[in-house]
Structure 1
Amino acid sequence: MTSHQSTQTMKPATAAKKLGVYLEATPAEFRQGVVSRAELNELQANPPQWLRELRRTGPHPRPVVAARLGVSIAGLARGGVTEPLTTDQIEALKQENPEWLQRERATQVEVRKEAARIKKKNAERG
């Protein structure tokens, strides 16, 4: 019995998510095709110029924006940030440091402390 290895492919949206880039900002040829696992691995290992530029300047998807601001995705929404932001916009928000951003960062700190406390407690039990 021989096993036939089929090529795994994914939608461009899935590939963009795995690459950490905003799909709408990718080149048309990327958005219109399918991406194989091998192509994804190649993009991760040797990113082309467009991918390097997108990662550097954006626009960035919400998970990346949230991580760069040190808040949760829900915190972004509570702060009224619903659109992708560029690196410059993220830096401007950090400089501005609005009240909602301060509040959401403080919430994230508390969430991380609680997660660490629970992890420690579970480790002591086990």
Structure 2
Amino acid sequence: MRDATYSALVFLSRDRYSTPVRVRMTDILMRELGGASYEYSTQSGESPLARLEFLIRVDDHTAVEDLPLDRLADLEAKVIEAARSWDDDLADALRDHDLDAQKNIARIADSMPRDIGRRTS
């Protein structure tokens, strides 16, 4: 039996790219596409964007020729979520509060250790 391969290109800002982000994206793609194995390559240079290319191999009998648009949109949303930081989530939460509450929450967040997001994610 031969394998089928999905290819995914992800562009994200260079400062967002890290090994943990790539691993989360890989895990999502493998799980959602039913991957049996994968390869990836990364390009990051003077451009403000880093480029990740994933090749996800699946058994031929589990491959879908074209992913339905709703499934593709869901997969895209999950990959985008993988690159979000604790600071992004905090900023979104602050938008739901009035300006005084935003300032108080931001002040508390600023007093926390910088790696709090990594420890709670």
The TM tier, using the shorter chain, reads: under 0.3
Where relative contact order (Cα < 8 A, 6+ residues apart) is larger, the structure is 2
Give the TM-score of the pair, scaled to structure 1.
0.27
Greater C-alpha radius of gyration: 1
Which of the pair is proportionally richer in helix?
1
Which of the pair is proportionally richer in strand?
2
